Amino acid sequence: MNKASAVNVKQINHSSSRIAQSIERRWYSSPGGLLFLLPLEWLFRLLVLCRKKYLSKRAKKSALPVIVVGNISVGGTGKTPVIIALVKFLREQGFTPGVISRGYGRKHSDLQWVSKQSSALQVGDEPLEIFEATQAPIVVSADRTLAARTLAGSNRCDIVLADDGLQHYRLARDLEIAVLDGEKRFGNGHCLPVGPLREPRQRLQTVDTILVRGDSSGISQAHGFDLTAKMFVNLKTGEELSLEGFTNEQDVYAVAGIGSPQKFFTTLEQLDLGVGTLNCIGFADHHLFCAQDFAFSATAPVVMTAKDAVKCRSFALENWWFLRVEAALPESFLQQLMAKINEIKT
């Protein structure tokens, strides 16, 4: 029998995750009962348009080239692994990239350099995840123009990647990369609060390139990419475990506090872990974990995402692991990216 067919998957959703999933189901199906909010959507669209025009005229240019990596929808699209892959690629091309981010979910909005001593509460979970994967210079601030200026003045990098800055129009940008989820795409096609879009889908006509996680068919001039699972890494020791490392048929708990927890759970199912029961527990995106969240088991192994691991390392047990994944960016996209960067340099 194939190991995957022997896995009994039991999913438990945390209360905050259930609320988020309920809203998401409406966004990614027929708007149905949300249509009464249409006047608010029209107001939202008007405010988005006015805000863009106002801020774009006052955009502040950075001393370094700025590449914005973002999306037009709420929720996870694989943007963080894309930024990590871009940092590594740009280094291979002779650049020294730095990253700026708002640091969503952190306690304060002031400017912070991300370091080995940083916590997710101080700098946000995604910037900390990027730092641990790349050791790149990273500055977080609610004011991304200030963050870019700080990076440029530090002489620690020569090109800036702006994390989730597609709608931060105060920051002038040289390139825009939009990242989409090939399965969810544009949901019901509506903007907030009726649908998941931060901006109308026509916004994609103005970006330089589009990356789609998964199936990119039907999206003009888009490049498809995938996330590839590499190994499990121990939160406490850094020990690396192969994807076939769970061999004794024990129960395993899978925990995810990301934009699309189900994608993580599905990935684990497809990996054929060879475990007895895979207990999947979903939390809301950017959930700030504490030890009490893991009261469900003191002995069984726990697996999670890298984004969640940076918030759990201080109280992790010996058998807690995160799944390391990498974005496999297509050569066609990388060639197009370098052509555009070379245009900027000249």
Mean pLDDT, residues 276-286 taken together: 87
Percent of the chain at pLDDT > 90 equals: 71
Residue 14 DSSP SS3: coil
pLDDT of 90 > 70? The answer is yes
Cα-based distances in Å from 126 to 82, 102, 115, 263, 321: 12, 10, 13, 17, 18
| Interatomic CA distance for residues 13 and 144, integer angstroms | 34
Chain mean pLDDT for the chain: 90
Question: What span, in angstroms and rounded, lies between the C-alpha atoms of 20 and 13?
Answer: 10
Token output for 113: 């350099």
pLDDT (0 to 100) of residue 99: 98
Residue 202's pLDDT is 95
What letter would DSSP give residue 29? Answer: S
β-bridge pairing 320-328 and 222-234:
antiparallel
**Confidence category of residue 274, pLDDT binned at 50, 70, 90:** confident
Residue 196, token pair as written in the block:
């998941």
138-181: per-residue pLDDT in tens?
A: 999 999 999 999 999 999 999 999 998 899 999 999 999 999 99
Report the SS3 class of residue 40.
helix
Q: Find the range with the poorest average confidence among 53-67, 191-205, 215-229, 268-282.
A: 268-282
Phi/psi for 6 (5° steps) reads -90, -5
Is it true that the peptide bond before 193 is cis, omega within 30 degrees of 0?
Answer: yes
**DSSP assignment string, 175-186:** EEEEEEETTTTT
Mind listing the pLDDT tens digit for each residue in 35-76? 889 999 999 999 999 999 999 999 989 999 999 999 999 878
Instruction: Give residue 6's pLDDT band: very low, low, confident or very high (50, 70, 90).
Output: very low
Summary count for the chain: helices (H), strands (E): 9, 14
296: pLDDT strictly greater than 90: no
- At residue 2, the pLDDT reads 37
Does residue 243 have a pLDDT over 60? yes
pLDDT at 8 over 60: no
190: which DSSP letter?
A: P
Asked if 75 and 259 touch (Cβ cutoff 8 Å), the reply is yes
Domains of the chain are 3-16+230-327 (no CATH), 24-225+328-345 (3.40.50)
pLDDT at position 36, please? 87
